[in-house]
Structure 1
Amino acid sequence: MNGLITLELVRALRNRKFLFFSVIYPSLLFLLIAGSADGTTRIDGTGLTLPTYMMVSMASFGALTAVLMGNSERISKERAGGWVRQLRLTPLPGRGYVLAKTASAAVVSLPSIVVVFAVAAAVKGVRLDAWQWLALTGAIWAGSLVFAALGVALGYLATGDAVRPVTMITYFGLSILGGLWMPTTTFPGWLQEVARWVPTHAYAALGQAIEQSQAPRVQDIAVLVVSFVLFTGGAAWLYRKDTLKA
């Protein structure tokens, strides 16, 4: 399995388009949204300034891009090309393939988080304690595993030309409803209630709690844990279903 993880990492790092959208693009969006904002005015209902709020949002968005977009389309193409069928002829167990995909995607998501943090600190003067930077990096990186599992599930759910639109709808839906592009406090009241149960909202809320030196809400942790169980369970079921078809 270690060999497969290494192969996946090499393939991802060689894909310049993938690296741009997962590492550089979130930082550019951060500068576009927070570039002209001051560092004192706080967003209503959050206690955070726009730069600090959007730093966590864009770091989460970059990690989401890396693990969701990378996994789903790559797995679908590998199924169509017969690569997955060839792997089934090796001693590698099915769970090893899923774990390798999830682990490699999670590793690739780390640069996207660090780059956004570096840009926020250098350009917008975001300052946090050392423990907060470390805790933010760990929380956002660990939380990306939830969406890495979703990416695996989508890769087995959709095939051929269908995988890209299915992934894009999921990707943009999670980003917008989760408040990664704009604070959910700007949403209508009913939509704010819906957003509270979206995993990307809970994902970003972990980082926002750390920025405010607060403990994460139990609801946010519960949403992420339940989502991870559902996504990994769905990925495992779809993998077994695909195996029966082969």
Structure 2
Amino acid sequence: MNALIKLELSRALRNKKFLFFSVCYPAILFLIIAGNADSTTKVDGTGLTLATYMMVSMASFGALTAVLMGNSERIAKERESGWVRQLRLTPLPGRGYVLAKTASAAVVSLPSIVVVFVAAAAIKHVRLDAWQWLALTGIIWAGSLVFAALGVAIGYVASGDAVRPITMIIYFGLSILGGLWMPTTTFPKILQDIAKWLPTHAYAALGRAIEQSQAPHATDIAVLAVYFVLFAGGAAWLYRKDTLKA
């Protein structure tokens, strides 16, 4: 499995387009959104400045990009090319393939988080305590596993031609409605009610609680846990179904 993880990392690091959109693009988007924001105006209901609020949003968005976009497309194309079938002929267990995909995506997601944080601190002068920076990095990185599981599930349910549009619809839908691109307080009431139950909203809320020096809310943790069980369970079932078809 270690050899497969190294191979996956090597492939990801050679893909310059993927690296740009997963590592650089979120930081650029953060600077565009928070570009003219001052250091005193607060986002309604949070007590956080726009730059501090959007820093967590874009770090979460970057991690989401790395684990969701990378996993879904690679798995769907590998299924069609016969690579997954070849791996089944080796001693590598099925869980090893899924773990290798998740681990490689998680490694790539870490730089996307750090780059957003560096941009926020150096350019927008966001200041937090050392423990908050460390806690934010850890919780956003760990939370991305929820979407890594979703990426695996999409990769097994979609064909190579259909995987990109399906992933993009889910990707942008979760990002926008979950409040990663703009505060949900600007949404109509009905969209705010929907956003509260989306995994992306709960994901970013964990980080914002740390910025506010608070413990993450139990509801947000529960929402993410339920989605992880659903996505991981769905991915496992789809993998077994795909194995039987092969």
* Residue 47 (structure 1) shift: 1.3
> Which residue is 1:90 aligned to?
90
How far, CA to CA, are the matches of 1:160 and 1:129 in structure 2? 45
Listed as ranges, the gaps of 5+ residues in structure 2 are none
Displacement of 1:161 in angstroms is 1.1
Aligned twin of 2:207 = 207
> When the two structures are aligned, how many residues end up with a matched partner?
246
Partner of 2:143: 143
**Over residues 180-235 of structure 1, what are the superposed CA-to-partner deviations in whole Å (9 max), with x where a residue is unaligned?**
00000001111111100000000000000000000111110001111111100000
Aligned residue number for residue 219 of structure 1: 219
Q: Quote the Cα distance in structure 2 between the aligned partners of 1:117 and 1:241.
A: 41
Q: What percentage of residue pairs aligned between the two structures are identical? A: 84
Q: Amino acid of the residue matched to residue 215 of structure 1?
A: A
**Aligned mates of 1:86, 1:15 — CA distance in 2:** 23
Give yes or no for the alignment of 1:74 onto 2:39: no
Deviation at 1:135, TM superposition (A): 0.1
Q: CA deviation at 1:77?
A: 0.6
**After TM superposition, where is structure 1 displaced by more than 2 Å over at least 4 residues in a row?**
none
Q: Which residue of 2 aligns with 1:101?
A: 101
Counterparts of 1:94 and 1:10, CA distance in 2: 21
Encode CA deviations 1:13-68: one digit per residue, 9 max, x unaligned. 11000000000000110010001100110011111110000000000000000000
Counterpart for residue 238 of structure 1: 238
Which TM-score applies when normalising by structure 2? Answer: 0.99
Q: Alpha-carbon deviation of 1:125?
A: 0.2
d(CA) in 1 for partners of 2:15 and 2:100?
18
1:236 & 1:208 partners in 2: Cα distance? Answer: 31
| Structure 1 vs Structure 2 CA RMSD | 0.5
Q: Spell out, residue by residue over 1:94-121, the C-alpha distance to the aligned partner (whole angstroms, 9 max, x if none).
A: 1111111111101110000000000000
Q: Shift of the alpha carbon at 1:131?
A: 0.1
What residue is the counterpart of 1:177 in the other structure?
177
Q: State the alpha-carbon separation in 1 of the partners of residues 184 and 147 from structure 2.
A: 20
Measured against aligned partners, the alpha-carbon deviations of 1:157-186 in whole angstroms (never above 9, x if no partner) come to 101211011000000000011100000000
3-state SS of paired residue (2:161): helix
Aligned letter for 1:22? S
1:5-44 alignment runs, 5 A limit = 5-44=5-44
